[in-house]
């Protein structure tokens, strides 16, 4: 009888343990900025300068494939998928570079940076935009490239690359501002950073220079607003001025409408998000691969006016964005006001070893703040 009881008790205990174990929430994996982030195969994720798309229950992380010794594109745009934002499956190169034609816009060896993907509900296509520099031409092309796919994991079909909005002046310029362009003579402003040069940049010296061929487009972001309108945000005018350009209904071209932000402010790496009707944008300065202090702007409308705020970063190396450079702000699906700041810690001598910074954005009196955390879990947003 005693033996029987012990047997029954241990059965019961086992069942109770099983029930408890099954109903306990799965343990969340920590997010450790600056560390190696292994994918499902145990290999460090290779998706730099990236962004994340959430589609039908899955997150897709797109980014630049970096190789061992060069930052040039030898593979193309990578995609990783995840259900939980911590475990990522490599989906491969969804926009591969072209191997057999050195004259192709995205020929192997070009510079293909900061790819972002958005979903168009009307066309049901996935649209990718990226910063493109032509093979062998350094950073002089300053083009935007676009590709489309039927599935989030591609394959993406390259459509074209070009500068942006040729022949168009900023949408918010008055007749007076447009007329003032005629008075700007580039020969008078050869020396940079003088008050006169600053004033001339503000008035559109480089907008005028690039009017015919289109505006330069380097570091970039995409943003889809609540009304479905999409925007391309990019460093233009020799990286001196950001431009925010409206995309057409299928998101594969510009409409010709654009505004400028912070002329001569030297902003790169724009990352946008919207909270309670306010548009926020985190950017960096322009110091190549070396980190610098993050900047932050807000606006009541995507077309501005944009107001600058203090650096949102707090903690060790806050004055150099914790050693990184912004790339994206990721809204966490299903949670209100949950945003993750994504940045890259570049390693130009060993680009494949570049690391990721993912930190939760906090709000102090409505203003975003990014505190450094060695390690955190997603339930931070539930607190
Ligand atoms: C900084 C940019 O943000 C990067 O995407 C890359 O273009 C480097 N400059 C190149 O120096």
pLDDT, tens digit, 9 for 90 and up, residues 211-235? 999 999 999 999 999 999 999 999 9
Query: pLDDT value at position 355?
Result: 98
Is a pLDDT exceeding 80 seen at residue 289? yes
- With a 6 Å cutoff on the Cβ, whether 268 touches ligand 1 is yes
- With a 6 Å cutoff on the Cβ, whether 133 touches ligand 1 is no
Distance 92 CA to ligand 1 centre (A): 23
pTM: 0.93
Distance 187 CA to ligand 1 centre (A): 29
Residues 256, 161: Cα–Cα separation, whole Å:
16
Distance 288 CA to ligand 1 centre (A): 5
Is a pLDDT exceeding 60 seen at residue 3? no
The residue to mutate among 289, 292, 294, having the most atoms of ligand 1 within 8 angstroms of its beta carbon, is 289
Nearest Cα to 54, choosing from 46, 62, 64?
A: 62
Is a pLDDT exceeding 50 seen at residue 93? yes
- With a 6 Å cutoff on the Cβ, whether 49 touches ligand 1 is yes
The residue to mutate among 130, 270, 288, having the most atoms of ligand 1 within 8 angstroms of its beta carbon, is 288
Is a pLDDT exceeding 70 seen at residue 20? no
- Which residues, in sequence order, are bridge partners of residue 340? 330, 360
Ligand 1 atom with the smallest distance to the CA of 111 is 7
Query: pLDDT value at position 30?
Result: 98
Architecture of domain 39-162: 5 Propeller (2.115)
Tens digits of per-residue pLDDT, 240-263?
Answer: 999 999 999 999 999 999 999 999
Domain boundaries, the chain: 39-162
Ligand 1 atom with the smallest distance to the CA of 325 is 3
The alpha carbon dihedral of 284, 285, 288, 289 has a sign of negative
Is a pLDDT exceeding 90 seen at residue 91? yes
* DSSP run (H or E) holding 178: helix 175-180
Confidence of residue 73 (pLDDT cuts 50, 70, 90): very high
Query: pLDDT value at position 9?
Result: 38
Lowest mean pLDDT among 3-17, 171-185, 342-356: 3-17
The residue to mutate among 50, 51, 112, 114, having the most atoms of ligand 1 within 8 angstroms of its beta carbon, is 114
Distance 343 CA to ligand 1 centre (A): 12
Q: What angle do CA 353, 357, 362 make, to 5 degrees?
A: 180
Is a pLDDT exceeding 60 seen at residue 22? no
Confidence of residue 25 (pLDDT cuts 50, 70, 90): low
Is a pLDDT exceeding 60 seen at residue 1? no
Nearest Cα to 207, choosing from 180, 247, 246, 188?
A: 180
- With a 6 Å cutoff on the Cβ, whether 64 touches ligand 1 is no
Confidence of residue 4 (pLDDT cuts 50, 70, 90): very low
- 3-class state of residue 272 by DSSP: strand
- With a 6 Å cutoff on the Cβ, whether 325 touches ligand 1 is yes
Tens digits of per-residue pLDDT, 330-360?
Answer: 999 999 999 999 999 999 999 999 999 999 9
Is a pLDDT exceeding 60 seen at residue 295? yes
Question: Residue with the nearest Cα to atom 10 of ligand 1?
Answer: 288
- 3-class state of residue 328 by DSSP: strand
* DSSP run (H or E) holding 144: strand 143-149
Summary mean pLDDT of the chain:
94
Whole-angstrom distance between the N-terminal and C-terminal Cα of the chain? 50
The alpha carbon dihedral of 181, 187, 188, 193 has a sign of positive
Residue with the larger pLDDT of the pair 20 and 176: 176
Residues 306, 261: Cα–Cα separation, whole Å:
7
């Amino acid at each position: 009888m005693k033996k029987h009881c012990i047997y029954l008790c241990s059965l019961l205990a086992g069942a109770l343990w099983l029930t408890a174990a099954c109903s306990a929430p799965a343990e969340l994996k920590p997010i450790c900025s600056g560390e190696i982030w292994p994918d499902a195969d145990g290999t460090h994720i290779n998706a730099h300068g990236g962004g994340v798309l959430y589609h039908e229950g899955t997150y897709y992380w797109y980014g630049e494939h970096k190789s061992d010794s060069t930052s040039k594109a030898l593979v193309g745009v990578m995609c990783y998928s995840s259900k939980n934002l911590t475990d990522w499956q490599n989906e491969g190169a969804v926009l591969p570079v072209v191997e057999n034609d050195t004259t192709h816009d995205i020929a192997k060896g070009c510079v293909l940076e900061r790819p972002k993907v958005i979903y168009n509900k009307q066309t049901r296509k996935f649209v990718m935009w990226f910063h493109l520099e032509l093979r062998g031409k350094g950073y002089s092309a300053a083009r935007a490239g676009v590709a489309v796919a039927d599935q989030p994991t591609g394959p993406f079909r390259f459509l074209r690359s070009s500068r942006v909005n040729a022949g168009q002046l900023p949408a918010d310029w008055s007749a007076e501002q447009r007329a003032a362009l005629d008075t700007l003579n580039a020969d008078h402003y050869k020396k940079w950073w003088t008050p006169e040069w600053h004033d001339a940049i503000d008035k559109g010296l480089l907008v005028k220079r690039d009017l015919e061929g289109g505006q330069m487009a380097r570091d970039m972001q995409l943003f889809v607003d609540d009304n479905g309108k999409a925007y391309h945000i990019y460093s233009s005018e020799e990286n001196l001025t950001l431009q925010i350009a409206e995309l057409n209904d299928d998101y594969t071209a510009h409409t010709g409408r654009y505004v400028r932000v912070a002329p001569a402010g030297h902003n790169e790496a724009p990352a946008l998000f919207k909270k309670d009707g306010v548009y926020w944008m985190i950017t960096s300065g322009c110091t190549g691969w070396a980190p610098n202090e993050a900047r932050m702007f807000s606006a009541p409308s995507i077309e501005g006016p944009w107001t600058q705020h203090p650096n949102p970063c707090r903690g060790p190396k806050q004055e150099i964005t914790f050693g990184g450079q912004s790339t994206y702000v990721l809204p966490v699906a299903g949670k209100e006001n949950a945003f993750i700041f994504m940045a890259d810690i570049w390693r130009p001598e060993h680009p494949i070893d570049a690391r990721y910074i993912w930190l939760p954005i906090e709000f102090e009196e409505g203003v975003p703040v990014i505190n450094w955390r060695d390690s955190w879990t997603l339930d931070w947003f539930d607190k």
